[in-house]
Amino acid sequence: MKRTGFTVTALTTSLTAGLAGTALITTALITTALTAPPAAADPPAPPGKAATLEHLAALTVAAEGPSTGYSREKFPHWSTVTGSCNTRETVLKRDGTNVRTDSSCAAVSGSWYSPYDGATWKQASDVDIDHMVPLAEAWRSGARSWTTSRREAFANDRASAQLWAVTDNVNQSKGDQDPAEWTPSRTAFRCMYARSWTDVKYRYGLTVDSAEKKALTSLVNGSC
């Protein structure tokens, strides 16, 4: 019988080296996982293009109602989520990177990327939590007939693409305008913007006016 020339000692040495190498790789992976900065999350994704167009077609088209009687106080926010953390603080932590909070849940450090304009901010005070469909727009589109509890759920909805951490003055420039009047300056986000807007209106049974529907259809077909 031929001898392979591979001794027991050599085999043992090879196996030991292999196991040691595996241990080193495993240790490196664990170390990387523990030290790598956590990635920022996003709001729950809205449906894709096809479903968005279906939902857009299903929305009731109607002229906007009046703003009579509207006030932000009729949409209670920011509601408590857990402990001392409210919706704003929770979304800041969700959408930021390396966010640290103090004992009252206020963000004291971190960074936030605004998808509307592509800016990154290091101070939470530079960031607004935007309602994708503004509260006043919702009021004119059907929310004036809702109960206060439903309006509160709408204003604090973290289960849909309704809440976004964005540059404060960009949010203020948007105001209560719909997509026929305002779109994000960052064109790469316009598809997500139209899909998110449509999803929120569809989820809550809100109406769209004709110019708004035309603008949304154009954005979805042209940007997605």
Q: Are 162 and 154 in contact (CB under 8 A)?
A: yes
Half-sphere exposure for 98 (CA within 13 Å, toward CB): 9
Q: Are 150 and 74 in contact (CB under 8 A)?
A: no
**Distance between CA 58 and CA 213 in Å, rounded?**
11
**Distance between CA 132 and CA 123 in Å, rounded?**
22
**Distance between CA 143 and CA 147 in Å, rounded?**
8
**Distance between CA 22 and CA 16 in Å, rounded?**
10
Q: How far apart are the first and last CA of the chain?
A: 69
Q: Is the dihedral of CA 44, 50, 56, 58 positive or negative?
A: negative
Q: Are 89 and 106 in contact (CB under 8 A)?
A: yes
CB atoms within 10 A of CB 141: 24
pLDDT digits (tens), the chain, 224 positions: 333 343 433 433 333 344 344 333 333 333 333 333 344 567 999 999 999 999 999 999 999 999 999 999 999 999 999 999 999 999 999 999 999 999 999 999 999 999 999 999 999 999 999 999 999 999 999 999 999 999 999 999 999 999 999 999 999 999 999 999 999 999 999 999 999 999 999 999 999 999 999 999 999 999 99
